[in-house]
A and B are shown apart, each in its own frame.
Chain A
Amino acid sequence: MREPILKVNNLHYSYGNGNPALDGISVDIYKGEKIAVIGSNGSGKSTFFLNANGVLKADHGEISYQGTVINKKNLRELRKNIGIVFQEADNQIIASTVMAEVGFGPMNLKLPKEEVIERVEEALSYMNILDFKDRPPHYLSGGEKKRVTIADVIAMKSEVIIFDEPTAALDPLNAQMLEEVLVKLGEEGKTMLISTHDVDFAYRWAERAIVFDQGKIIADGTPLDIFKNTGILEQANLKRPAMLDVYEMLVEKKMVADTKDYPTSPQDLKVLLEKQFKFA
């Protein structure tokens, strides 16, 4: 049995008003997983992320990173290894040049300056924004700011990267750029958790989906299983991905044979159709 990279056990958290924001969350996350965290607004996704990074301290429950239970002393280790890309770039960017901004995390890790510079350049070229190095963040566009915030986390070399609704407020081109970066990071074996309301994106990108509802995890499994489960979709107020509907309609009308090989994108469907109709 593989050892989970991040193990969350019976986590409870409530904000000042007494209502539980997290109500007994237990989840094991393994290295290299691509996880979509879905659920309506206020279901506890962001609170969970902040707990996982150690910014919020849980009322009950424990978090272990690579088998070590996190306490006050090794909190630093947790923050170093779990990076969050926040939903609003303007709430994350703190420095007044892109270079200082991306270097902020590595500087806090107390790395030598040469290494910080090396990491900054690496992260900036990874995100294709090396030319922005000396630019102040207030002259960048929304999509460019998003790239800077992702470079922030890449420069910290976190094992686990959490994206809090990354596609919100991005135009289609930038959203596509983001998806390419996610694929690239996935190929490098990074563990990723992404909260999103875009079910089509979750369906085509994720290997595993976790559904939050009112501070509880109500489902955890492959996106296909979850999106086929009407009960869960109703409880969490989710829509079905368009590609799933299309495929099931085609099967129902006997237009294609049911191979159980569900296409998640129009390209996949095209491949499937070409395969099935080659000999027809």
Chain B
Amino acid sequence: MENSLGKSINFIRTSEKAEHQVTHHHKIGHKHGEGSAIDFYAYASKLRCWNPTFKVVFSFLTLLLCIGLNNPFVSIAVIIGMAYLTVLKGGLSLAAYISVLMIPITFIIMGTIAIGVDFSSQPIGQFNLFLGFGYLFTSVDKLQEMAFLMLKVFGAISAMIMMTLSTPSSEIIGVLRKAHVPKLIIELMNLIYRYIFILMDVFNNMRNSADSRQGYCDFKTSCTTFGSVASNLLVVSLKKANAYYTAMEARGYEGDLIFLEDEKKMPMRHLVIGAAFIIFLIILGIMTH
């Protein structure tokens, strides 16, 4: 009883932290800790119990269709479908979903503006804007191309994000292992994923302890402190690597890193609905060609 209570409190705390991170992000523009927020959403998602292979294959097919069919209607269908899956089926709050999407959206807008709008010394094009030293110009065709490209990229990204927001990294690595990605890469991915969190923990502790001793009081000190923390982090990670190797050996590690993987059921229903969605996309693509 105590156990489950403690656990739920802990989970609430973690989600508060995640929530806090999100609100924080609106202010500073997604710079720190977004990775761990995504990781947390993946564990909290209601789609987590779905078969990971299905999710990975499904989102990849969607991604390929979205790019391959090159059709704005397909793109819109993908965007709506993936948002439906992530937010309504997965139980992620809309604010959190949009917050995660904000990073790619920024890149998409910045990237596509360069395609839609051009610069010239003469007043050409359907619309132009005089800037004093030249003209920004564009046309309806160009703007349409820009909007379609945006939709396409956005659809492709939302398919990938559906996967990352519903499948923890360890399960994605498991799918890659089944797809016969070389063992070395799989082992590295597993270890790196685990150690990112340890490294962040150690770094946070060091930074806090430096901060409490006025290590970040001005710019010059901050630079020195950052250097010291980074070099200390290297020494600590070497030591930790040793400690881990010892612990792994103590449990019979003999050169092969093999983990137990949970087999998740693949209900027929998912397969049918997934296939139906894919076929729907193809038909939609052909019909509106």
Contacts and interface: CB of A to CB of B under 8 A. Distances in A.
Contacts of A137: 194, 197
A100 B240 contact: no
Contacts of A140: 10
A120 B262 CA distance: 12
Q: Which of B4, B191, B249 has the most CB of A within 10 A?
A: B249
Contacts of A223: none
Interface in B226-265: 240, 243-244, 246-254, 258-262
Given A99-B260, A116-B260, A108 B251 contact: yes
Contacts of A84: 247, 250
B252 A91 contact: no
B212 interface: no
A91 B250 contact: no
B121 interface: no
B212 to A, nearest CB: 20
A138 B195 CA distance: 10
A128 interface: yes
Interface string A166-199: 0000000100000000000000000000000000
A99 B2 CA distance: 22
A21 to B, nearest CB: 14
B260 A103 contact: yes
Contacts of B190: 95-96
A132 interface: yes
A94 B247 contact: yes
B250 A138 contact: no
Interface string A98-130: 011011111111000100110010000000110
A103 B4 contact: no
B199 to A, nearest CB: 11
Nearest to A109: B252
Interface string B41-75: 00100001000000000000000000000000000
B40 interface: yes
Contacts of B222: none
B84 interface: no
Contacts of A138: 194, 197-198, 201
A80 interface: yes
Contacts of B243: 86, 88, 91
A116 B259 CA distance: 11
Contacts of A97: 168, 170, 262
Q: Is the interface of A mostly helix, strand, loop or mixed?
A: helix
A96 B170 contact: yes
Contacts of B197: 136-138
A279 interface: no
Contacts of A90: 198, 201
Contact of B244 (A83, A91, A139): A91
B246 A55 contact: yes
A9 to B, nearest CB: 21
A80 B194 contact: no
Contacts of A128: 3
B244 A53 contact: no
Contact of B260 (A83, A88, A113): A113
A137 B191 CA distance: 13
B32 interface: no
B120 interface: no
B93 interface: no
Contacts of B6: 141
Given A50-B246, A139-B14, A95 B259 contact: yes
B185 to A, nearest CB: 16
A197 B254 CA distance: 33
10 contacts: A53-B250, A76-B254, A79-B251, A80-B252, A86-B243, A107-B258, A113-B260, A136-B170, A139-B14, A139-B40
Given A94-B247, A138-B197, 6 more contacts: A55-B249, A86-B243, A90-B201, A91-B244, A96-B194, A99-B262
The 5 closest A-B pairs by CB, nearest first: A103-B260, A108-B252, A138-B197, A100-B259, A96-B170
Interface of A: 50, 53, 55, 76, 79-80, 83-84, 86, 88, 90-97, 99-100, 102-109, 113, 116-117, 120, 128-129, 131-132, 134-141, 144, 152, 156, 173
Interface of B: 2-4, 6-7, 10-11, 14, 39-40, 43, 48, 168-170, 190-191, 193-194, 197-198, 201, 240, 243-244, 246-254, 258-262
